[in-house]
Amino acid sequence: MKHNLLRRTVAEFIGTLFLLAAVVGSGIMGERLAAGNVALALLANTIATGTALIAIILAFGPISGAHLNPAVTLADAWTGGIPWRETPVYIAAQLAGGIAGVTLAHLMFGLSAVSASTHPRNGFAQLLSEFIATFGLLAVILGCARSRPSVVPVAVGAYITAAYWFTASTSFANPAVTIARSMTNTFAGIQPSDIAGFVAAQLAGALAATLLFQWLVPPPKPERTPSSLTHPL
Amino acid sequence: MKHNLLRRTVAEFIGTLFLLAAVVGSGIMGERLAAGNVALALLANTIATGTALIAIILAFGPISGAHLNPAVTLADAWTGGIPWRETPVYIAAQLAGGIAGVTLAHLMFGLSAVSASTHPRNGFAQLLSEFIATFGLLAVILGCARSRPSVVPVAVGAYITAAYWFTASTSFANPAVTIARSMTNTFAGIQPSDIAGFVAAQLAGALAATLLFQWLVPPPKPERTPSSLTHPL
Amino acid sequence: MKHNLLRRTVAEFIGTLFLLAAVVGSGIMGERLAAGNVALALLANTIATGTALIAIILAFGPISGAHLNPAVTLADAWTGGIPWRETPVYIAAQLAGGIAGVTLAHLMFGLSAVSASTHPRNGFAQLLSEFIATFGLLAVILGCARSRPSVVPVAVGAYITAAYWFTASTSFANPAVTIARSMTNTFAGIQPSDIAGFVAAQLAGALAATLLFQWLVPPPKPERTPSSLTHPL
Amino acid sequence: MKHNLLRRTVAEFIGTLFLLAAVVGSGIMGERLAAGNVALALLANTIATGTALIAIILAFGPISGAHLNPAVTLADAWTGGIPWRETPVYIAAQLAGGIAGVTLAHLMFGLSAVSASTHPRNGFAQLLSEFIATFGLLAVILGCARSRPSVVPVAVGAYITAAYWFTASTSFANPAVTIARSMTNTFAGIQPSDIAGFVAAQLAGALAATLLFQWLVPPPKPERTPSSLTHPL
């Protein structure tokens, strides 16, 4: 094993911390500066999130695969990437990193460490959006990972940039992100009672994409060692 | 054959579905949030479309070539890529995917499944725009495909990002996209009676670019197997 | 020679045509939609120009080097790239392509074919801006061309995107672009009497960068064949 | 040694000059055109800075490593890159280049050569922001440099694009940039009395990231020659 589990866990923690700091921090900055124009605030939030993803996955991908997302970790285990026994460790690191990232964003912007969101995000349109957002995210990762793993960072950054605008939910597409964003009563927040629906829709979307791509891109050669989904090296 | 026709057809369907969901969905979101500033709405629409194209072509290119566009499929067949007998299957998948994508965008934003557009797009300036938009798109694809196929996703995403702004029609450049966009009475729509002109201009532009590049970039070696235009592997 | 001179000349013509169509067309579109907000219009103009450059250089670079710019062609000849006897042909193609591109943009937006600009751009600050803009452009091309020619398209697109904002002149950095933009009385125009100063500043900037890089990056091996500056293959 | 120290010093000087010209110049242009909308001005400033970084690091990285930042130079020396005895030369070049870049931006926009900033940037939230901004920058560089040095230019450009928005300080993350920006009383300025706190926070962040990555990514093979952090060749 190239990197021991502790190192990879720390990489997932810090990577997810920076992802959430980027999502929440840029939402706060965007809203403060946009003088009430929500399109402009979301544009800033989008550009910051997409470019942060590229940088974070490039930096931490070589260490841990830079899943940053329990849905990605589960899909990776399902398709023969990381061992199942490691998935709880990865997911715990992502959840803890997400919450730490929200707290960090709050402290950088002079807010209290956490604040429960009151932003309602529910109903069929929102849940469908999260199903599609996560389906698409996994499709992009699985579509690139086997043939050209080095493009995964740009593909994911580009996809999320688009999905912020083409889904009605602004594409959370990540259970750790969803839980963390319930702890910020700012631009990027989601009220805690809406977490369950979002996560269920996300996991369903991830499962659907994984099943589809198992059929769509069958493993090319039996002698090939299973490798991490998003591991660019 | 690396991927059987069914798999490739499904890839074209899903890829075009996501393309149209991105185009139409981000148009709806942009218009809703931009508080009447059309430049801001189009900027959001542009960024979402360009980045969606990069992600979709990276993900589905290795499977089907990610044509997502009947004009590209016809040019690919013309230049010795996919066999002519497969072109109707590809085109049908693109048309069906496009319509499904519009419907999906509508459902994600709480609208009825389809709605006929009332957005007029016609006249010489619009048709010239579509001729040029599609000529340029094929020039970019054909210019990159032989020498550096791995850059096609970024080249196409970059080109369409630019063409949204430098053509008066916002660069549909794709018959499947045109037909699908007639079914949405939102920001991205085109009234059904204007489809024929757009498609004719697009096919003329694609043909002109294909003829030009057959002269401009002659096949380097006779023993080389013809390969798919945009297939990055 | 991989591509005969006629083919390369046509590539320079069409490449420069698309570059000017992108610069002028997106300026018109940006100004029409931005409701008087010049920052928003310039942002649209910037994004369209930067992404157009990436697409055009990727597509035409393998054929002609995609100079699109007399200053680049002269620097390439100076540093042992294309033969001096071909430079007038390249430059003529760039000038003709630029004018054709302006005309095309006008026709796509329903304007008359050409119109003399009344936009004054002169004085020390403007000329210094053009000197620096072109110095930087050549520095980027020369800095990348020897060690990693495949990154030239992205480097040039990124550089011009930045230079639109950090120079007071919005970075024409190209004599063919300057002459062509005198023929459009729209957002991107420059009045004909200011052409001479801009071109002189651009050529001085290009010469300074070329001399600097000849010292900064000496040719690594004497046996290496001189090759085109921006030729990514 | 591929490039002698004088050449590398000049590369650091010119690279940092262009970086500061981009940061300060685009701030002036953004503020002038944005009609009071700070989000729009910062968006222009962000896009110009991120793309300038990509272009500058691509162009000067092959010569000097394109550190452009004393914190990067110190981390590079610490991890066995450039020799310690060269660090004062690099840092002096960066400081001089930064000041020259501010002056150049002022002259391009018709302002006096320098002007002391009156923009206060201090307090816990600002200092925490700079610690995090620089920690993240070094994490991105160190995370990419060993495994895929060719992606460093894009990773750094993407990271800074994001960090402009997710830190409350707009992510200076660079002592040379901080000192230079004290000399411009425009959008990007920082009052001189706040320099010390920013620089201290930046160096602490850089040190923390360097220590973390020494543990996180241990050197793979003892026989490998230490090489420059960001040297893409």
Domains of chain C: 5-216 (1.20.1080.10)
pLDDT in tens, A149-205: 999 999 999 999 999 999 999 999 999 999 999 999 999 999 999 999 999 999 999
If you measure CA to CA, which chain A residue comes closest to B23? A166
Write the DSSP assignment of chain A as a string of letters: --S-HHHHHHHHHHHHHHHHHHHHHHHHHHHHHTTT-HHHHHHHHHHHHHHHHHHHHHHHHHHH----SHHHHHHHHHTTSS-GGGHHHHHHHHHHHHHHHHHHHHHHTT--S---------SHHHHHHHHHHHHHHHHHHHHHHTT-GGGHHHHHHHHHHHHHHHSTT-----HHHHHHHTT--STT---GGGHHHHHHHHHHHHHHHHHHHHHHS--S-TTSPP--TT---
If you measure CA to CA, which chain A residue comes closest to B43? A43
**Residue to test with chain A: of D38, D166, D169, D170, most A Cβ within 10 A:** D166
pLDDT at B230: 43
Q: What is the ipTM for the molecules in this complex?
A: 0.93
Q: Which of C142, C157, C165 sits opposite D25 (nearest CB)?
A: C165
pLDDT in tens, B122-177: 999 999 999 999 999 999 999 998 889 999 999 999 999 999 999 999 999 999 99
Q: Which of D43, D47, D166 sits opposite A52 (nearest CB)?
A: D166
Amino acid at B105: A
- pLDDT (average), residues B201-215: 97
Residue contact D143–A60, C-beta within 8 A: yes
**Chain-centre distance for alpha carbon C30:** 20
Angle at A102 between CA A160 and CA D137, to 5 degrees: 70
Amino acid at B17: L
**Residue to test with chain A: of B8, B17, B54, most A Cβ within 10 A:** B54
Taking chain C, what is the end-to-end CA distance rounded to the nearest angstrom? 13
In the block, which residue shows the tokens 């529910």? A122
Q: How confident is the model at residue A12 (pLDDT cuts 50, 70, 90)?
A: very high
Q: What are D's interface residues with A at a Cβ cutoff of 8 A?
A: 36-40, 42-43, 46-47, 50, 123-125, 128-129, 132, 136, 139-140, 142-144, 146-148, 151, 154-159, 161-168, 212, 215-217
pLDDT in tens, D82-107: 999 999 999 999 999 999 999 999 99
Q: In chain D, what residues touch C148 (CB-CB under 8 Å)?
A: 58, 62, 150, 232-233
Q: In chain C, what residues touch D35 (CB-CB under 8 Å)?
A: 36-39
pLDDT in tens, A122-149: 999 999 999 999 999 999 999 998 889 9
Is C176 in contact with C70 (CB distance < 8 Å)?
A: yes
pLDDT in tens, C23-66: 999 999 999 999 999 999 999 999 999 999 999 999 999 999 99
Residue contact A110–D129, C-beta within 8 A: no
Count of beta carbons in the 10 Å neighbourhood of residue A220: 10
HSE of B100, CA atoms in CB hemisphere, 13 A: 15
Question: Rounded to two decimals, what is the model's pTM?
Answer: 0.94
CA distance B52 to chain C (A): 15
Q: In chain D, what residues touch A65 (CB-CB under 8 Å)?
A: none
Buried b (16+ CB within 10 A) or exposed e, C125-137: bbbbbbbbbbbbb
If you measure CA to CA, which chain D residue comes closest to A47? D162
Helices (H), ranges, B109-194: 124-145, 152-166, 175-181
